């Protein structure tokens, strides 16, 4: 438990980022699985490896799902889908395999859209709703892509009547085996092959194929034959045997009303159910007729409930006790004793004599002299009296002492020689599967030992049953109980580990957390994989939703393209790249074909095109050429551009005499009409800023620009302002211009106007070694040689905690390592002392101590329940890695705590004279320490 606590604390510490503890062994040096899992490494096939950055699409591809929403499968890599045009693909199949949102324009992929928007035959296949398109070439000069509206234009990939009708209701499959569709035959007999023989054109008639004649016929009753009603029913459910004028026929017909059947043989089944062949006497002769078989058909010979039940079990005797009628659904609806037997739902009824009423025959309605147990029981064996003896009630399951009575009570079950209520919870604990529980009683779920009616995680009684509940929620076994698994129950340091356990989780690097509703809620890259919004993308230290370039909240090419190399801008938002030629001129940066550049076409319209060389551009000024590509200038013909030259002298006209490849400025010499390097004096500007803008090597002398010089190079006080070495000041005492120093600044608030000037109490001092700081106040600054401390009225470099025994500010600059004890109020002295294993660690942790120089650690380990100074050999399997500041790992084969490189540590007893410490302490060297 303690070690777990330490681990947790440590993980938290590590995740805080800057801890020196981070500079431990690298993943591949660690040989122990446990140690490996304690940092952002991954243990796989017996090796500890660096964890790869997890992205949504990378994870999707490992489960073999790519392409999916948000991911494209391009060049065999599952990558964030940035829009169809970013991918090259010469036909539909290629592009649709990259993403099912894409088709091809013959060269690259384009988004599926409406048929009429497709310009080429290659893209003309389906629209974005999955409807088929076809390429109408009837007008050869102007072929067009159109939505399919006739059967013959449906594609050959459709191979069944169903597939054809799904596209267009009146189509069936083509009879040649090429596939494709044709107009359906009007009626079944018009369908030519078995594959078409499904329905007629408007789907009002089912068709059947006669294998002997190879013909399609209407699957109607009239086309069926047989000798009995049964034969016709077998042929088709709604058919019965037809009749002729004087007997039965051998063909079928549609089912009819009973009354319309003329013969006993056909009087079987009618539209409303069974039929009854009724014999009556007409003129003294028996005559039969076919009627619906219902209660009212019973003759007057049926004079009581029992007889009527025999006629049809839904009947009771009629009100006049002659004939039958249908049973009521409530006992109370019966008005006569003779009918008061049972309802249509088999509720038993009972005639209450005193009230002259038919009521339910149950305990609640018991008619007894007094409500004693005996009386109630006599009325109905299921009944007993309530405790107050004020009414009869149904017995409890547990009151039944025989299995017979138990069964009679209903909802009770006799098991283990007892009668218990027949519910899930009373199932025997020997039932351990959902199947067994469901067989015991419908809708029961296992608890691992018995059943429950909900099957919730919290119902599970064993760890093995604690996996998933009846609502498909995952369960987790914690503290000997089962509960619904939540992200916060899981401790993993990566998204995938958390997500594998529960797909609503991600990690925050320490433990699992719920996925955020929005990508932008994630603050660290590790969590930034997916949110409820969709896949996320980490860029520029922020997490964004990424479903195509347009979800990125930026407008510049730089932003869009940095986030995803297949995104650029159209000038107002991020968009997917496409060929330069198809890129808008407001977003003309890169295309699928490379760098793009804006150019003028024949009509002087601005277009975007692939950049190959400066000379492709048709501009007429240096400014235009150079604006579109900084490596270009105007050509001598002044109609196109050319490459910049590397020397001014190679330019032959004034227009391109501007700048060289290495950013040297050029000057057109009007007297020689040649181009040469520019001198500051060539520029006529009167302010420093203007001269700098023209040429950063220049300043001004108020009438023209001049070369910038070091401060002491200026002889005129007016020029003494900006030197190449810094800001200048005119020293009137020596009539000299020189570099401005910190102590030239008199206003302490202005110290920061010069670099490396620090505000002391009354003047500015320049940053220097500690010993040059003369006041206690300036000694609070860090020196160029380290942290300073003030003592004995001098400032010096602090090399150990004790140096700051009387200088609180200094001691507190090392607060991680030194502990400040103020001067007690009752006298004595203050102290600055290094922490010890014990004073630094509290609350169960026993972490190593950083030495004053911050390049070494002192090992601490818990020995005899105290955290104390220790050596590597004191560390155990549990503590080796963490207590050695992750610079050692536990080797299971030798059972030793080994250094990263696999060697046994030699006990280097380094006595650091800057630190008080116990002899025998071991220091670890931290190889790469960052300040
Ligand atoms: C198929 O047609 C033949 C000839 O008309 C007929 O005898 C036979 O009953 C038919 N078969 C079916 C299944 O309808
Ligand atoms: C294009 O612009 C240039 C410079 O303005 C001009 O000389 C040329 O005639 C223009 N061409 C067309 C086709 O307008
Ligand atoms: C400018 O042209 C150079 C080659 O001359 C090329 O490498 C570079 O990519 C171009 N820059 C842009 C922004 O097109
Ligand atoms: C300060 O002075 C005292 C006494 O003179 C001396 O013992 C001590 O070492 C000095 N401290 C430092 C830091 O020089
Ligand atoms: C292994 O690492 C330890 C501690 O970092 C070091 O002292 C030792 O020199 C290294 N040995 C080898 C062979 O690199
Ligand atoms: C290191 O020191 C410990 C005690 O501090 C001792 O037990 C151990 O043998 C030493 N190991 C080596 C390799 O010298």
Which string of DSSP letters, residue by residue, matches 196-216? GBTB-TTS-SBEEEETTTTEE
Which numbered atom of ligand 3 lies nearest the CA of 597?
A: 14
pLDDT value of residue 807: 94
Dist. CA 902–CA 887, nearest whole Å: 11
**At residue 920, does pLDDT exceed 70?**
no
The residue nearest atom 14 of ligand 5, judged by CA position, is: 901
Tokens describing residue 562? 């940095």
Largest pairwise CA distance in the chain: 158
Q: Which residue, 595, 612, 629, sits at the end of a domain?
A: 612
Ligand 1 atom nearest residue 224's Cα: 14
Same domain, 302 and 393: yes
Q: Are 846 and 778 found together in one domain?
A: no
Using one digit for the tens of pLDDT, what is the confidence trace for 365-377? 998 899 999 999 9
Q: Are 401 and 456 contained in the same domain? A: no
| Residue 266 pLDDT > 60 | yes
Q: Model-level pTM greater than 0.85?
A: no
788 and 842 within one domain: no
Residue 495 has pLDDT above 50, yes or no: yes
661 lines ligand 3 (CB under 6 A): no
CA of 620, closest atom in ligand 2: 4
Query: What is the structure's pLDDT at 109?
Result: 93
Pick the atom of ligand 4 nearest to 796's CA: 13
Regarding the beta carbon of 599 and ligand 3, being less than 6 Å apart is answered no
Q: How many domains does the chain have?
A: 5
Domain membership flag for residue 789 = yes
Q: What is the mean pLDDT of the segment spanning 39-53? A: 87
Mean pLDDT of 390-419: 91
Beta-carbon contacts of residue 649 (< 8 Å; ≥ 6 apart):
674, 675, 676
Q: What are phi and psi of 623, to 5 degrees?
A: -55, -45
Residues contacting 881, CB < 8 A, separation 6+: 24, 30, 32, 34, 35, 38, 888, 889, 890
Residue that the structure tokens 């008005």 belong to: 335
The per-residue pLDDT for range 130-185, each reduced to its tens digit, is: 899 999 999 999 999 999 999 999 999 999 999 999 999 999 999 887 889 999 99
Distance 629 CA to ligand 2 centre (A): 21
Q: Is residue 773 helix, strand or coil? A: coil
Structure tokens at 297: 């058909």
Burial of 263 (0-12, 13-18, 19+ CB in 10 A): middle
Q: Look at ligand 6, atom 6, and give the residue with the nearest C-alpha.
A: 873
CA-nearest residue for atom 1, ligand 4, is 792
Burial class for 480, CB neighbours closer than 10 Å (0-12, 13-18, 19+) = exposed
pLDDT at site 528: 96
Length, in residues, of the chain: 931
Confidence at residue 450, expressed as pLDDT on a 0 to 100 scale:
94
The number of the ligand 5 atom at minimal distance from the alpha carbon of 927 is 5
Instruction: Name which residue sits closest to atom 7 of ligand 6, judged by CA.
Output: 873
Domain enclosing residue 556, as ranges: 547-612
Task: Establish if 706 belongs to a structural domain.
Answer: no
- Is the domain of 434 the same as that of 360? no
Mutate to test the pocket of ligand 3, among 595, 598, 627 (most ligand atoms within 8 A of CB): 595
928 lines ligand 5 (CB under 6 A): no
pLDDT tops 70 at residue 624: yes
Ligand nearest 589 Cα, by number?
A: 3
Indicate whether 52 belongs to any domain.
Answer: no
Contact 643, 651 (CB under 8 A): no
Q: Are 574 and 558 spatial neighbours (Cβ–Cβ below 8 Å)? A: no
Which of 547, 505, 499 shows the shortest CA–CA distance to 522? 505
Nearest CA to ligand 2 atom 13: 603
Q: Which atom of ligand 3 is nearest to the CA of 614?
A: 5
Q: Residue of the nearest CA to atom 13 in ligand 3?
A: 629
Cβ(585) – ligand 4 distance below 6 Å = no
- In the listed set 381, 398, 418, which residue is the last one of a domain according to the structure? 418
User: With DSSP H G I counted as helix, E B as strand and the rest as coil, what are the percentages for the chain, rounded to 5?
Assistant: 25, 25, 50
Please give the helix or strand (H or E) that residue 790 lies within, else none. Answer: strand 788-791
* Nearest protein Cα to ligand 1, atom 7: 212
Residues 876 and 901 in one domain: yes
Exposure on the CB side of residue 708, measured as CA atoms within 13 A:
19
Cα–Cα distance for residue pair 720/741, rounded to 1 Å: 14
Q: Relative to the CA of 604, which ligand 2 atom is closest?
A: 1
Residues with CB under 6 A from ligand 1: 210, 212-213
Residue from 859, 884, 907, 919 whose mutation best tests the ligand 6 pocket (most atoms within 8 A of CB): 907
Ligand 6 cavity residues, CB under 6 Å: 871, 873, 906-907, 920
Distance (angstroms) between ligand 2 centre and the Cα of 641 equals 15
Name which residue sits closest to atom 2 of ligand 6, judged by CA: 907
Neighbour tally for 541: CB within 10 Å: 8
Decide if 773 contacts 779 (C-beta within 8 A): yes
pLDDT tens sequence across 86-103? 999 999 999 999 999 999
Q: How far apart are CA 410 and CA 389, in angstroms?
A: 23
563 pLDDT exceeds 90?
yes
| Percent of the chain clearing pLDDT 90 (strictly above) | 67
| Substitution site in 903, 904, 906, 922 for ligand 5 pocket (most atoms within 8 Å of beta carbon) | 903
Ligand nearest to the CA of 218: 1
Closest ligand 5 atom to the C-alpha of 903? Answer: 1
CA-atom Rg of the chain in angstroms = 48
Which residue has the least CA distance to atom 9 on ligand 6? 873
Region at 203 (left for phi over 0; alpha for psi -120 to 50; beta for the rest): left
Q: Which atom number of ligand 1 is nearest to the Cα of residue 211?
A: 1
* Beta-carbon count within 10 A of 614 CB: 22
For position 865, what pLDDT does the model report? 85
CA-nearest residue, atom 12 of ligand 3: 629
Question: End of a domain among 418, 435, 458?
Answer: 418
In-domain check, residue 802: yes
Residues 822 and 847 occupy one common structural domain? no
Ligand 2 center from residue 618 Cα (angstroms):
10
- Cα(639)–Cα(585) distance, rounded to whole angstroms? 20
User: Is 411 close to ligand 4, i.e. is its CB under 6 Å away?
Assistant: no
Q: Let me know whether 337 and 438 are in one domain.
A: no
Ligand nearest to the CA of 611: 3
Contact 543/537 with Cβ under 8 angstroms? Answer: yes
Residues with CB under 6 A from ligand 2: 603-604, 620
pLDDT in tens, 819-876: 999 999 988 899 999 999 988 887 777 888 888 888 788 888 888 888 988 888 888 8
CA of 908 to the centre of ligand 6 (A): 9
Which ligand is located closest to the Cα atom of residue 211? 1
Residue with the bigger pLDDT between 763 and 59: it is: 59
Residue 886 lies in a domain: yes
For the chain, what is the mean pLDDT?
89
Does the residue 661 lie in any domain? Answer: no
Query: 82: Cβ below 6 Å to ligand 3?
Result: no
First to last CA, the chain: 35
pLDDT of residue 135: 93
Residues 307 and 407 in one domain: yes
The ligand minimizing its distance to the Cα of 861 is 6
Claim to verify: residue 408 and residue 344 sit in the same structural domain? yes
Of the listed ranges 8-12, 318-322, 605-609, the least confidently predicted one is: 8-12
> What tokens were used for 43?
């243990």
Residues whose CB falls within 8 Å of the CB of residue 476, separated by 6 or more in sequence, listed in order: 457, 466, 482, 483, 484, 485, 489
Ligand 4 nearest atom to the CA of residue 791, by list position? 13
pLDDT of residue 905: 58
Instruction: Tell me whether residue 559 is in a domain.
Output: yes
Q: Is the CB of 597 under 6 A from ligand 3?
A: yes
Q: Does ligand 5 come within 6 angstroms of the Cβ of 903?
A: yes
CA nearest ligand 2 atom 1, residue: 604
Which residue CA neighbors atom 6 of ligand 4 most closely? 792
Whether the pLDDT of residue 635 is over 80: the answer is yes
Instruction: Find all residues with CB under 8 Å of 867, minimum gap 6, and list them.
Output: 837, 838, 841, 845, 846, 860, 861
Under DSSP, is residue 775 helix (H, G, I), strand (E, B) or coil?
A: coil
* pLDDT computed for residue 866 by the predictor: 87
CA 792 / ligand 4 centre spacing (Å): 6
Q: Average pLDDT, stretch 670-675?
A: 93
Question: Does residue 908 carry a pLDDT above 80?
Answer: no
Same domain as 841, residue 816: no
Nearest listed ligand to the Cα of residue 871? 6
Eight-state DSSP code of residue 51? P
Ligand 3 centroid distance, CA of 580 (Å): 14
Predicted confidence band at 580 (pLDDT cuts at 50, 70, 90)? very high
What separation in Å is there between the alpha carbon of 48 and the centre of ligand 6? 29
**Which residue has the least CA distance to atom 12 on ligand 1?**
210
Q: Which atom of ligand 5 is closest in space to residue 925's alpha carbon?
A: 5
pLDDT of residue 16: 30
Q: Whose CA is nearest to atom 8 of ligand 6?
A: 873
Cβ–Cβ < 8 Å for 239, 221: yes
Q: Omega of the bond prior to 72 within 30 degrees of 0, cis?
A: no
Test site for ligand 5: of 899, 927, 928, most ligand atoms within 8 A of the Cβ? 899
Give nearest CA residue, ligand 4 atom 4.
792
Over residues 759-803, the pLDDT tens digits come to 888 889 899 999 999 889 999 999 999 999 999 999 999 999 999
In a mutational test of the pocket of ligand 3, which residue from 610, 629, 645, 661 has the highest number of ligand atoms less than 8 Å from its CB?
A: 629
From 896, 901, 907, give the residue whose CB has the most ligand 5 atoms within 8 Å, as the site to mutate: 901
Residues 346 and 403 in one domain: yes
Which of helix, strand or coil describes residue 458?
Answer: helix
Does residue 433 lie in a domain region? yes
* DSSP-assigned letter for residue 870: -
User: Which atom of ligand 6 is found nearest the CA of 871?
Assistant: 5
Task: Say if ligand 5 is within 6 A of residue 910 CB.
Answer: no
């Amino acid at each position: 438990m303690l070690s777990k606590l330490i681990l947790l604390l440590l993980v938290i510490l590590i995740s805080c980022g800057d801890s020196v503890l981070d500079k431990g062994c690298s993943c591949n040096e660690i040989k122990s699985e446990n140690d490996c899992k304690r940092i952002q490494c991954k243990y796989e096939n017996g090796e500890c490896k660096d964890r790869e950055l997890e992205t949504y699409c990378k994870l999707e591809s490992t489960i073999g799902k790519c392409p999916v929403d948000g991911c494209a499968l391009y060049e065999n890599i599952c990558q964030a889908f940035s829009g169809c045009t970013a991918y090259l693909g010469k036909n539909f199949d290629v592009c649709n395999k990259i993403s099912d949102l894409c088709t091809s324009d013959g060269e690259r992929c384009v988004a599926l859209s409406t048929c009429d928007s497709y310009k080429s035959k290659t893209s003309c296949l389906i629209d974005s709703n999955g409807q088929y398109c076809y390429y109408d070439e009837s007008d050869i000069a102007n072929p067009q892509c159109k939505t399919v509206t006739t059967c013959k234009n449906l594609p050959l990939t459709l191979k069944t009547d169903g597939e054809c009708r799904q596209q267009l209701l009146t189509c069936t499959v083509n009879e040649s085996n090429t596939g494709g569709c044709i107009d359906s035959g009007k009626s079944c007999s018009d369908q030519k092959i078995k594959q078409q023989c499904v329905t007629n054109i408007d789907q009002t008639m089912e068709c059947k194929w006669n294998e002997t004649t190879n013909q399609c016929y209407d699957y109607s009753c009239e086309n069926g034959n047989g000798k009995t009603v049964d034969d016709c029913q077998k042929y088709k459910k709604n058919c019965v045997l037809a009749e002729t004028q004087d007997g039965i026929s051998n063909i079928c017909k549609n089912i009819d009303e009973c009354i319309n059947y003329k013969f006993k043989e056909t009087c079987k089944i009618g539209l409303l159910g069974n039929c009854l062949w009724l014999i009556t006497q007409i003129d003294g002769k028996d005559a039969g007729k076919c009627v619906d078989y219902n209660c009212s058909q019973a003759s007057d010979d049926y004079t009581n409930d029992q007889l009527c039940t025999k006629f049809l079990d839904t009947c009771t005797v009629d009100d006049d006790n002659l004939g039958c009628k249908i049973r009521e659904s409530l006992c109370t609806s019966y008005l006569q004793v003779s009918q008061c037997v049972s309802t249509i739902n088999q509720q038993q009824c009972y005639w209450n004599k005193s009230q002259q009423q038919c009521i339910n025959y149950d305990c609640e309605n018991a008619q007894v002299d007094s409500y004693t147990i005996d009386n109630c029981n006599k009325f109905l064996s299921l009944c007993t009296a309530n405790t107050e003896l004020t009414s009869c009630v149904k017995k409890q399951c547990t009151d039944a002492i025989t299995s017979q009575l138990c069964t009679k009570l209903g909802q009770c079950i006799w098991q283990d020689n007892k009668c218990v209520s027949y519910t899930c919870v009373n199932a025997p604990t020997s039932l351990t599967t959902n199947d067994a529980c469901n067989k015991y009683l419908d809708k029961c779920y296992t608890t691992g030992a018995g059943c429950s009616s909900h099957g919730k995680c919290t119902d599970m009684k064993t760890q093995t049953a604690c996996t998933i509940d009846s609502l498909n929620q995952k369960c987790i076994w914690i503290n000997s109980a089962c509960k619904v698994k939540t992200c916060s129950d899981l401790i993993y340091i990566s998204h995938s580990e958390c997500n594998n356990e529960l797909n609503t989780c991600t990690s925050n690097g320490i433990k699992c957390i719920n996925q955020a509703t929005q990508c932008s809620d994630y603050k660290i890259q590790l969590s930034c994989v997916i949110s409820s919004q969709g896949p996320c993308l980490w860029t520029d230290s922020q997490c964004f939703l990424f479903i195509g370039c347009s979800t990125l909240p930026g407008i510049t090419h730089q932003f869009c393209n940095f986030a995803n190399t297949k995104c650029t801008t159209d000038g107002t938002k991020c968009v997917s790249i496409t060929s330069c030629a198809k890129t808008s001129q407001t977003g003309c940066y890169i295309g699928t074909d490379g760098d793009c550049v804006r150019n003028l076409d024949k009509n002087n319209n601005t277009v975007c095109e692939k950049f190959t060389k400066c000379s492709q551009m048709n501009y007429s000024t240096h400014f235009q050429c150079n604006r579109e590509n900084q490596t270009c200038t105007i050509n001598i013909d002044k109609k196109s551009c050319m490459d910049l030259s590397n020397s001014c002298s190679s330019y032959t006209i004034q227009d391109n005499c501007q700048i060289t490849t290495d950013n040297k400025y050029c000057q057109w010499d009007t007297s020689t009409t040649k181009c040469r390097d520019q001198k500051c004096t060539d520029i006529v500007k009167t302010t420093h800023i203007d001269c700098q803008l023209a040429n950063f090597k220049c300043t001004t002398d108020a009438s023209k620009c001049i070369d910038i010089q070091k401060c002491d190079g200026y002889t005129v006080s007016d020029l003494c302002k900006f030197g190449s070495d810094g800001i200048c000041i005119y020293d009137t005492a020596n009539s000299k211009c020189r570099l401005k120093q910190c102590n030239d600044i008199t206003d302490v608030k202005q110290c920061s106007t010069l670099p490396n000037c620090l505000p002391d109490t009354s003047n500015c001092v320049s940053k220097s070694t500690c010993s040059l700081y003369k006041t206690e106040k300036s000694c609070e600054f860090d020196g160029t040689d380290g942290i300073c401390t003030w003592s004995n009225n001098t400032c010096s470099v602090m090399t150990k905690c004790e140096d700051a025994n009387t200088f609180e500010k200094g001691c507190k600059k090392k607060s991680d390592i030194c502990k400040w004890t103020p001067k007690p109020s009752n006298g004595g002295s203050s102290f600055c002392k290094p922490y010890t294993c014990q004073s630094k660690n509290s609350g169960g942790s026993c972490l190593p101590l950083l030495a004053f120089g911050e390049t070494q650690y002192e090992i601490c380990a818990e020995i005899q329940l105290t955290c104390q100074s220790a050596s590597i050999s004191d560390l155990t399997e549990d503590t080796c890695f963490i207590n050695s500041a992750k610079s050692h790992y536990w080797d299971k084969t030798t059972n030793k705590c080994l250094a990263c490189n696999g060697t046994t540590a030699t006990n280097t007893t380094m006595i650091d004279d800057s630190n008080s410490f116990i002899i025998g302490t071991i220091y670890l060297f931290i190889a790469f320490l960052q300040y």
